[in-house]
Copies of this chain bind each other. A is one copy, B any other.
Amino acid sequence: MREQVQSARTDLALEVRETFGEDDVEIRGVVLERDKGKGKGVEISRVIIQDESGARAMGKPIGTYITIEAPGLKESDESFQESISVELAKQLKKLCGNLREKQVLVAGLGNRAATPDALGPLVVDNLFVTRHLIREFGPEFRRKHRLADVSAAAIGVMGQTGMESGEILKGIISQTKPELVIVIDALAARSVERLNTTIQITDTGICPGSGIGNNRQALNKESLGTQVIAIGVPTVVDAATIVGDSLERFLKMQGFSAEETQRFLAEVYRKNQEESIANLFVTPGNIDEAMKQISYTISEALNDCFAG
């Protein structure tokens, strides 16, 4: 089992799985299931990391990672958006049960002022919150309208708040005591094909870094004391990743061996880190429009799970 290329950063469990080769390659402690979803071209994958052995191999914590791939997610065809929204709601219900009976806090992570990072705040802007209404009109009102108890907050980023997302979330949770926290965040992908076309839902929360060990910035059941579901969409690819992938293709084309290729890649990554390519991100030209579209689709799926 070859080492995954460390520098090719991705937040998608599915992409990590793909670095190990075809679907029939077996990884101990990791299950991969694929399915057709509703709507044209929609595909559902489910990566289940079952134990510590799988977690080590994948570099991600134990849990379930559902990926909805929908090439049309970034397009403005309303009927298509609606079918993705329905699929997302269905997958969420599978993972969390009936949300209408829960008290839920939705937390939008990310920087509202940086377009590809604004997914979380934009989703929160469109949510129909009910907690204050239920507190005003009572449980009868809630039963009658069959509403989840929903609160929501755009958490901001550390560079703007001076606080870690986890600190703010823990504070809000201590006051409002939700049963479930849903965090929404923009992700990084390895492949440009997945930009703005993929939604990942996971019951592991969010674990920056390797996801194992470093729990300081993790947003999960362990750190927050509440069940955490994370919904993310890859909106950027690291520029270094694109360079590496292109080079890898080229080297294979030229007949280099796998070892040589890895050695060259490592060298190029090292050089790129020293140069200004670090901290550059690749996004499609229409990212502003795409973010509006995708955030709306996600918020509609949530609103649908929460009410009616």
Q: Which residues in A have some Cβ–Cβ distance to B below 8 Å?
A: 113-115, 117, 124-125, 129-133, 150-154, 156, 158-164, 167-168, 170-176, 192-193, 239, 242-243, 246-247, 249-250, 253-254, 264, 267-268, 271-272, 276-277, 279-289
Contacts and interface: CB of A to CB of B under 8 A. Distances in A.
B242 A268 contact: no
15 contacts: A125-B160, A129-B161, A130-B162, A151-B162, A163-B172, A167-B172, A167-B176, A192-B280, A239-B282, A242-B280, A243-B246, A279-B285, A280-B282, A280-B283, A280-B284
Contact of A158 (B132, B276, B281, B289): B132
Contact of A168 (B158, B175, B253): B175
A289 B125 CA distance: 11
A254 B150 CA distance: 50
SS of A interface (majority): helix
Given A129-B161, A162-B152, A193 B247 contact: no
B276 A192 contact: yes
Given A162-B129, A176-B167, A242 B277 contact: yes
Given A168-B175, A176-B171, A156 B153 contact: yes
A151 B153 CA distance: 17
